Amino acid sequence: MTRSRGLLFLSESRRNYAEPLTLWTWSKVVRRIALAADVERFSTHTTRHLCLTDLARMGWELHEIATFAGHRQTDSTLQYIHLSGRELADNLRGGMEHIHAWRVQTLAGETAQLGSEVAR
């Protein structure tokens, strides 16, 4: 986020009123909310995992997600993407259906071409 668009979260404390929240303060706020909601394993970093996983679900390429995340190596990005077994199975099934349709179309074209050659 650029400063020209303004800050997203500002402090309400008397000590540093209207100053940008520090990462430490923001982490404490999120931690308190998570504990109040009885979500033990939620942190500011969880949203990064969620965002990058959602980009993968939307079909972004790994190198695009890595660039978006500021990672130089895609291995780093892979640690943030958490697809379920169901999602992986659905992706595999969709890919296999696409390959099958392509094979059927290709074979149908070859059969039609063979038939026209025999008729000559």
Q: What does pTM read for this prediction?
A: 0.61
Q: Which ranges of the chain have pLDDT less than 70?
A: 1-5, 111-120
End-to-end CA distance of the chain: 69
- The Cα angle at residue 51 between residues 45 and 89, in degrees rounded to 5: 115
DSSP, res 36: H
Q: What pLDDT was estimated at residue 115?
A: 62
Contact of 30 with 37, CB cutoff 8 Å = no
Q: What pLDDT was estimated at residue 1?
A: 45
Q: What pLDDT was estimated at residue 112?
A: 66
